[in-house]
Amino acid sequence: MLNPATRAVLAQRKNFHDADRFPVANVPVNYGPYALLVGGALLVGVGVLLWRDRNSFPCLVVLAIGVGMVVGPVALGWFHETAAAEKVAEAARSPFSAAVGNTVVDNIYGIDAAFVEMRQAMFPSIARHLGLTSAQMDSTLHTDFPATMRLLDAWDRQMHQAARELSLSQLRYADEFHNADATPYRALPWLVIAPGLVLVVAAAIGLRRRDV
């Protein structure tokens, strides 16, 4: 259960990098709704100007905005980035499922319990059987089994805490992931392009009527 999910997530590293650039690199994705709200308010203002002013200038402004809304998402690579986001979300659905999340947490606690038992029960028992002090046993283990002791030492210093927090995050953020997963990623560019096309048509009609 865990190995296929892990491989699926690791295979999405490039797609994650590409998806993280949406809508613009180094701009948090949660700014997107506010950008749409501000853009919508500006378009309302332009629409009022277009309705009240009979000159061609407002139509040209609307035409420029519409063209920008159509060309911008293509130029910024939104179709590729949103497709990458969909692939990342697909790969993450298994790790953020309750079954996998609970299994990971159980495994981390099981590994930690096994390592604690080795430190506090198995090694002291072996030391008593060999007639070694704790310091002598520790020295012997680091000399004869360096890779094992490096793992145990690293687990105690940093790996245990990091693994525990990572495993718990799969459960903690499961609901947030499912909410984000409901986003229609591939449709996002069209939320900008479609209104842009409408503006282009409206501006073209307005310019034509003003020329008549």
Domain residue ranges of the chain, discontinuous segments joined by +: 1-96+183-212, 98-172
Residue 64 is encoded by which pair of tokens? 């420029």
Owner of token pair 């096309």? 197
Q: What is the pLDDT of residue 2?
A: 53
On the question of pLDDT at 147 being above 90, the answer is yes
pLDDT > 60? residue 57: yes
> Sorting pLDDT into bands at 50, 70 and 90, what band is 144?
very high
pLDDT at 143 over 90: yes
- The mean pLDDT of 87-94, rounded to a whole number, is 81
pLDDT of 122: 94
- Helices (H) then strands (E): counts for the chain: 12, 0
Q: Which amino acid is at 149?
A: M
pLDDT winner (highest mean) among 32-46, 76-90, 98-112, 132-146: 132-146
Whether this prediction's pTM lies above 0.75 is answered by: no
Find the farthest-apart pair of alpha carbons in the chain and give their distance in angstroms, rounded: 106
CA 210/CA 194 separation, integer angstroms = 24
| Among candidate residues 168, 192, 14, the one with its CA nearest the CA of residue 95 | 168
- Amino acid, single-letter form, for residue 63: L
Rounded Cα gap, residues 43 and 209, in angstroms: 20
pLDDT in tens, 21-52: 787 777 777 777 777 788 778 777 777 776 66
pLDDT at 145: 93
pLDDT value at 173 more than 90: no
Q: What pLDDT was estimated at residue 149?
A: 93
